Structure 1
Amino acid sequence: MTDRRAHLAYLNRRRMLMGTAGFAAAAGTGVLPGRLLAQEPISVAGIYTVPVEQQWVSRIHKAAEAAKADGQITYTFSENTANTDYPRVMREYAESGAKLIVGEIFGVEQEAREVVLDYPDTAFLLGSSFMPDPAYPNLAVFDNYIQDASYLSGIIAGAMTESGNIGMVGGFPIPEVNRLMHAFMAGVREMTPEAEFQVSFIGSWFDPPKAKETAFAMIENGADLLYAERFGVSDAAQERDILAIGNVIDTQEEYPDTVVASAIWHFEPTLQAALAKVADGSFEADNYGVYSFMKHGGCSLAPLGTFEGKVPQAALDLVAEKEAAIKSGEFTVEIDDTEPTSS
């Protein structure tokens, strides 16, 4: 009991550092080969701390809706769930008979684990900053490890910037954001080794006006391209007639003259792997983050679309070379979870 209390105390300290905001974080479905074909639909419940339109959560919701349409699952969800209510909603869904509960517990790591222990027959697949722990055998964790696609989007950004001054606006400086920013910056330096970065975090997962104002300040400070980790950044880029790189979802349709490329997260491989384990009774504490890697179909670079023919061929050649090497295992994009800083 002493070790468990120490672990929970550590989780609580991390929650305090993060604040009480919940985490959040298009092409193809990325469904795993041999996709689960259950005789009876599996009851799935989603619990989200932000609207399902938000980038990160939208990818989970999209995958669940696809599985529902395919007859694999029944699906219900709660959005805009406050962290203070999150454990209660977990209990309600578990009590109602949900076989698999998905969501994100970045702001309630300790409390969620206490709930998990009370429902050993329910499978929990939850976004978390921590690795799986056998002390919570029915809790599997995941995250959007899309550093592969972020790196490739950085190569394109490095070829499109003229000043070499790039602005980057994030939500919170936690691993889930940091690793994508670092991968993007590494890609930029492949084309523009002397690039400089303005890095700022707005302290929110969904505050487009604040993200927009932060981006405006970076543009005033010389940035000619923005990394849009949050909603609102591409709006600033569009208004000031500069370029942007998207994250998690493809927003080029909304910003056809602004968003050059985006690193896309596909949650389908993660969900399908979990459903298969639930169906055969082998679900256990595991790290499902690996299913976000490009080699598993968990991420991709969005099509250039309106920017077809506008990106230098040297960058496109390098993207193709690196993408093939990533998929074959010959090249690995570094996972750096440390907080990035302005250069």
Structure 2
Amino acid sequence: MKRFLFILTLLLVTTAMLAAPLKVAFVFVAPIGDGGWSFMHNQGRLYLEKVFGSDIVTDFIENVPEGAEAESVFRGYAQRGYDIVFGTSFGYMDSMVKVSKSFPKTTFMHCSGYQVTDNLGTYFGRMYEPRFLSGLVAGAMTKTNIIGYVAAFPIPEVIRGINAFAMGVQYVNPQAKVHVVWSNTWFDPAREKEAAVSLLDIGADVIAQHQDSPAPQQAAQDRGVYSIGYNSDMSAFAPKAFLAAPVWNWGPYYEKVVRSVMEGTWTNAQYWGGIKDGTVDIVLSDLVPSGVAKLVMSMRIAIIKGDMHPFVGPIYDQAGNLKYAEGEIPSDGDLLSMDWFINNVVGKIQ
């Protein structure tokens, strides 16, 4: 009789556990209405709600600064019994590492980081692939051969993106230069617009960016020149300027993570997906001439098939040093730690 009651209790507990919805939290560094980075991560959260319905419960906090405040937010979600916590900014890394060690039953996922623990994994996308494609567009469309790039922070993620973009520019237009100005922001429209204006003032007729707001594109439109967006299709914000944008699509990857936790197969693997996986891609506007669009799409297919890589030698740095020989491709480790500019970039890594 006791054995029967034990088995019955175990079954009831197991059933209750299976019936309880998985609790999934997201922590955003900017407002979800930014139209960019946080907006696209939140689209991934909404995608989860559509896919899983009542099997999950999601929550989010926006505008969370990197540092002590972020640590408190992560700790709070773990204390409230959330099963998965996604942190979506590079600067959350140290906080997530620390909190994950205190809450081993919670699964933590950090976007763009490189440190893992037993219950903390990392994920990111090979944004350098569509960055290269957007550089093809910029290089083909510039008339002054001065292309402006409003850069966020001098970290490998941003530097890698600038170099990939510059590789695309160089591929179609060896005479053009990519001029970099740092804003040291992820989301500060006024400051980012000011940085774009400084590039327009030196003759830039295409403005690219790494931040989350459409402000640099709006500055370009105000001057009657072109822009390259980032994160999402921001054409509605600057329809007369917007040429293209490298974009994110997080939904399918978030679904994969949630299913792995549900099924007990999650591991702390470090994910880095590309165009082939659907994590990143490029959007083009009707302002891009058909010939340029065909080139971009053919190169996109070549990347998917593995027939070409955005970073293939010869590649020289700003000082003229050969970094990668003819046909040589940097390793993932080299790309993830990139801290130098290629030879058609004008500006310093501050």
Choose from 262, 265, 268 the match for 2:248. 265
Choose from 152, 167, 173 the match for 1:171. 152
Letter aligned with residue 145 of structure 1: R
1:45 matched to 2:25: yes
Q: Aligned-pair RMSD on alpha carbons?
A: 1.9
Note the 1:1-343 alignment, pairs <5 A: 41-54=21-34, 55-70=36-51, 71=53, 73-82=56-65, 83-130=67-114, 132-133=115-116, 136-230=117-211, 231=213, 232-288=215-271, 290-291=272-273, 293-304=274-285, 306-307=286-287, 310-311=288-289, 313=291, 315-334=292-311, 335=335, 337-340=338-341, 341-342=345-346
Q: Deviations over 1:227-257 (max 9, x none)?
A: 0322221121011110000111111122111
Q: TM-score, normalised by structure 1?
A: 0.81
Query: Which sits farther off after the overlay, 41-50 or 232-241?
Result: 41-50
Q: Deviations over 1:193-218 (max 9, x none)?
A: 11112101111111111111111111
Letter aligned with residue 309 of structure 2: T
Q: Tell me, what secondary structure is at the counterpart of 1:234?
A: helix
In 2, Cα distance between equivalents of 1:39 and 1:329 = 43
Q: Are 1:124 and 1:138, in contact at CA under 8 Å, matched by a contact in 2?
A: yes
Q: TM-score, normalised by structure 2?
A: 0.80
Q: Are 2:22 and 2:56, in contact at CA under 8 Å, matched by a contact in 1?
A: yes
- Structure 2 spans left out of the alignment, 5+ residues: 1-17, 312-334
In 2, Cα distance between equivalents of 1:91 and 1:215 = 38
- Structure 1 spans left out of the alignment, 5+ residues: 1-37
Letter aligned with residue 210 of structure 1: R
Query: Which sits farther off after the overlay, 255-264 or 110-119?
Result: 110-119
Q: Tell me, what secondary structure is at the counterpart of 2:25?
A: strand
Q: Which has the higher contact order (CA 8 A, sep 6+)?
A: 1
Q: Are 1:149 and 1:300, in contact at CA under 8 Å, matched by a contact in 2?
A: yes
In 2, Cα distance between equivalents of 1:271 and 1:152 = 25
Q: Are 2:246 and 2:280, in contact at CA under 8 Å, matched by a contact in 1?
A: yes
Q: Are 1:159 and 1:311, in contact at CA under 8 Å, matched by a contact in 2?
A: no
In 1, Cα distance between equivalents of 2:124 and 2:158 = 10
Q: Deviations over 1:116-153 (max 9, x none)?
A: 011111111112431x53xx111011224311111111
Q: Tell me, what secondary structure is at the counterpart of 2:304?
A: helix
In 2, Cα distance between equivalents of 1:81 and 1:195 = 38
Cα distance 1:320–1:107, how it changes in 2: closer, same or farther (>3 A)? closer
Q: Are 1:149 and 1:301, in contact at CA under 8 Å, matched by a contact in 2?
A: yes
